Structure 1
Amino acid sequence: MQVYLVGGAVRDALLNRKVVERDYVVVGATPEEMISQGFTQVGKDFPVFLHPKTQEEYALARTERKSGKGYTGFVCDASSSVTLEEDLLRRDLTVNAIAQDNLGKLIDPYGGQKDLENRLLRHVSEAFSEDPLRVFRVARFATRYAYLGFTIANETMALMQSMADSGELSTLSAERVWQETKRSLLEKTPHVFFSVLNEAHGLSDWFTELESSVDTALATLKTAVDLEKVENESSFNKGDSGTQTSESSAPEITRLITRFTALLTHLNEEEAKRLCSRLKVQNQVSEIAILSSKFKDSLSDTQNSPADLLALFNGCDAWRREERFTLLLSAFAPYAHNKGVDWQHQQKRIKNALEAANQVNVQDIIATGVKGPEIKDALTQAKLAAITSLSE
């Protein structure tokens, strides 16, 4: 039995990046031998085991043969006769097909180190095309390492285009596509993910609504990242919280919502709904993006009337979901910025109007003798009057 460190841990160590998790491949072992040494088997499709102390993953060396459509249609051979080179051959990119033994020696049969030096993402073999999820994975790797100057090899891009044109991407599950998308949106240069997919003909199955206006979407997404940097640097310079850094201060979910909203706001409401539904985006993220698409004109209009503002608050249920509405205003900033709106002033105007309307007390209205259905109308008129008074 021989154990090797493989994949991302080796790649990131060679790039002087922080290694987050370690995966191992075991050559010359059987499931029974692994279990006898205290490992716990967790893999269903192929033998993967958790180390009894570290809980790190150890997978038996395996080969895969395509047997059907999609990313699950594979026949796996994890017998003890499978070699390390055979295991590495089935991996997606050469930079992910480097192994390291327990003495620190690198085993690199497919030129991964050279591709790391050349900042190149290149497929290991033609078997790459058997798994359509790899189109999205490569787009994510291109996104993650764009700041280091990585590009995709021409022959790999051609293969990705062929895979997309074949219709295989449509066989993927929404959960897997959204997972790759979500992870990419949280990288330093999230626009790269969609640029790569666009070049690879990979938008049509899952991001149909973005195809005709991808440049606009990506420009707004870039602005979202730029505005984050300005805000983070400002917070860092002020020394807020003592633990903040200039790289990231907003919670991950907030960054995800803001960036995804920036990507979708230029769409109309129905387009945004379709895209979110197709990807099965979680409600916490999708509802802000959809509201932003629906109310972008009202949010952007610095001359909108008190009645328009009241309609905005009603449509967004700002009365009961004020925290969500505040998040919407924050997420809308990139779109407003790209439209030339003085968003700082407009956002303050909207918040002041909402605060004024919230000062209206329904109990005071009831105390005047108003009853039944008339209460709602009286409440609306009182809120409208409160907003109107701000501009007088």
Structure 2
Amino acid sequence: MQVYAVGGAVRDRLLREQAGQPEAPHVGDRDWVVVGATAEQMGALGYVPVGRDFPVFLHPQTHEEYALARTERKSAPGYRGFVMHADPSVTLEQDLQRRDLTINAIAQAEDGRLIDPYGGQRDLQARVLRHVSDAFEEDPVRILRLARFLARWPDFSVAPETLALCRRMVQAGEVDALVPERVWQELSRGLMEPAPSRMFGLLRDCGALARLLPELDRLWGVPQPPQHHPEVDTGVHVMLVLDTAAALQAPLPVRWACLVHDLGKGTTPPQEWPRHIAHEARSVRLAAQVADRLRVPVDCRELAQLVAGEHGNIHRSGEFGAAALMRLLERCDALRRPERFEQALLACECDARGRTGLEDQPYPQRERLSAALRTVLAVDVKQAAADAVARGLQGPGIGNAVSQARAEALAAWLSER
């Protein structure tokens, strides 16, 4: 029985060594593969079986995952159609051959020796993402993982033969078999990487984006008014917005909102280009459809629809007086959900700065609207309601009096600016 560390922990340690970085404290779970053992032997040693479909066990002390070396054979479309084989005769090299990328197919023995039968260290040095074998095409999730790794490491590229393999997988319909939950899982992780636009670039290049997010894919080639969008192309603009969100370390709901805020421009009739009249309403509808299809979490869904519908008004809010500002705050439900409103403002800043040559432009609308909201929230609602009651008002009259007090505070704030 031999035990080897495999996967991301080995890969990331080698990356740190190449970069001359000190050994990092261990964070998260490591993956281990066990060669020459049976499930019965693992149980006798105190390992706890947890894999329903695969021979995976938890270490009795560390609770890290230990998997028996195994091979797999494709038995049906999609990523669930596999027949797995695991017994003591399966070698380490056979187990590594079924992994996705060469950089993830490096094992480390207990004495520190590296086992690298497929050139993973070479590809780490060359900054290349390359599939290990044709087994890659048996699991369409690997296209999403490949795209996510590309977003994680901006200096890596995809091997031409791996990109060609991804294209064949898409043409064969493998991507169509992916379940929504898994697509969202991988997309959401990729959105949080340093260069998320690279993930969508790879998906678009291999044809997967048109299958998974056709609403987004159709934005490329759609022009915008050059006086507002020097980059002109809507798809290019959305990717710039997304990378701006990453540079500002925005949370996931903001990054998702940035991704889908302009979907309506993809449905503008060509004869109306480069203007996109009423695209906001179409964007709201399309963002909702995408969220339904991918089962996007509620916080991401709601913020995306808010930004899609109101980003134009937020951009123009510097021209608004007290009444218009109050209506905007109310439409955004900012008084009840100020944290979400602040996220919407951040997404709008990313939209404004995600334009060629305008990356460093100030966005005063964000601070102005934040200050306006603080002004309104500072109104003493209890006192305003008590004053209304003292004047003999009841029911809706009290609510109107509170709204009037807030509007007056906002007008006073504006007069002092």
Taking structure 2 as the reference length, what is the TM-score of the superposition? 0.81
CA distance in 2, matches of 1:319, 1:364: 21
Shift of 1:73: 0.8
Aligned to 1:370: 393
CA distance in 2, matches of 1:356, 1:13: 51
311-320 vs 335-344, which deviates more?
335-344
1:116 to 115, 124, 137: 124
Aligned to 1:59: 67
Aligned to 2:292: 277
CA distance in 1, matches of 2:362, 2:353: 7
Task: State the Cα deviation string for residues 55-109 of structure 1 (Å, max 9, x = none).
Answer: 1111001111111121111010012221112111111111111222222222222
What pairs up with 1:146-185 in 2 under 5 angstroms? 146=154, 149-185=155-191
SS of 1:204's partner is helix
Residues paired across the two proteins, number: 365
What pairs up with 1:1-392 in 2 under 5 angstroms? 1-16=1-16, 18=24, 20=27, 21-146=29-154, 149-213=155-219, 214-228=235-249, 255-267=251-263, 268-301=283-316, 302-338=318-354, 344-358=363-377, 359=379, 361-392=384-415
CA distance in 1, matches of 2:387, 2:376: 14
60-69 vs 166-175, which deviates more?
166-175
**Change beyond 3 A, Cα 1:323–1:71:** same
**Change beyond 3 A, Cα 1:338–1:365:** farther
Task: State the Cα deviation string for residues 225-249 of structure 1 (Å, max 9, x = none).
Answer: 3344xxxxxxxxxxxxxxxxxxxxx
**Change beyond 3 A, Cα 1:93–1:352:** closer
Check whether the contact 1:298–1:309 (CA below 8 A) recurs between aligned residues.
no
Shift of 1:131: 0.5
SS of 2:53's partner is coil
Aligned to 2:278: none
CA distance in 2, matches of 1:53, 1:355: 51
CA distance in 1, matches of 2:397, 2:193: 52
CA distance in 2, matches of 1:140, 1:338: 21
Check whether the contact 1:62–1:76 (CA below 8 A) recurs between aligned residues.
yes
Shift of 1:152: 0.5
SS of 1:3's partner is strand
CA distance in 2, matches of 1:165, 1:217: 26
CA distance in 2, matches of 1:327, 1:204: 29
Check whether the contact 1:27–1:83 (CA below 8 A) recurs between aligned residues.
yes
**Change beyond 3 A, Cα 1:168–1:260:** same
Q: Which amino acid aligns with 2:188?
A: K
CA distance in 2, matches of 1:353, 1:12: 46
CA distance in 2, matches of 1:199, 1:130: 20
Identity of aligned residues (%): 46
SS of 2:79's partner is coil
Task: State the Cα deviation string for residues 325-367 of structure 1 (Å, max 9, x = none).
Answer: 2232233321133476976432233233334434263332333
Q: Which amino acid aligns with 1:216?
A: H
Shift of 1:375: 4.1
Q: Which amino acid aligns with 2:391?
A: T
CA distance in 1, matches of 2:371, 2:119: 61
Shift of 1:379: 4.3
Check whether the contact 2:258–2:350 (CA below 8 A) recurs between aligned residues.
yes
Check whether the contact 1:67–1:75 (CA below 8 A) recurs between aligned residues.
yes
Shift of 1:374: 4.1
CA distance in 2, matches of 1:82, 1:367: 84
Calculate the aligned-residue CA RMSD, in Å: 2.2
CA distance in 2, matches of 1:219, 1:345: 20
CA distance in 2, matches of 1:272, 1:377: 34
CA distance in 2, matches of 1:225, 1:29: 45
**Change beyond 3 A, Cα 1:378–1:194:** same
213-222 vs 307-316, which deviates more?
307-316
318-327 vs 369-378, which deviates more?
369-378
CA distance in 2, matches of 1:138, 1:342: 34
Aligned to 2:280: none
CA distance in 1, matches of 2:302, 2:12: 36
Task: Show structure 1 runs of 5+ residues with no match.
Answer: 229-253
SS of 2:252's partner is helix
Check whether the contact 1:143–1:184 (CA below 8 A) recurs between aligned residues.
yes
Shift of 1:385: 4.0
Task: State the Cα deviation string for residues 123-164 of structure 1 (Å, max 9, x = none).
Answer: 111121110100001111112222xx2110001001112212
Check whether the contact 2:388–2:397 (CA below 8 A) recurs between aligned residues.
no
CA distance in 2, matches of 1:25, 1:372: 69
Aligned to 2:224: none
Check whether the contact 2:238–2:354 (CA below 8 A) recurs between aligned residues.
no
CA distance in 2, matches of 1:356, 1:112: 58
Check whether the contact 1:298–1:308 (CA below 8 A) recurs between aligned residues.
no
Shift of 1:377: 4.3
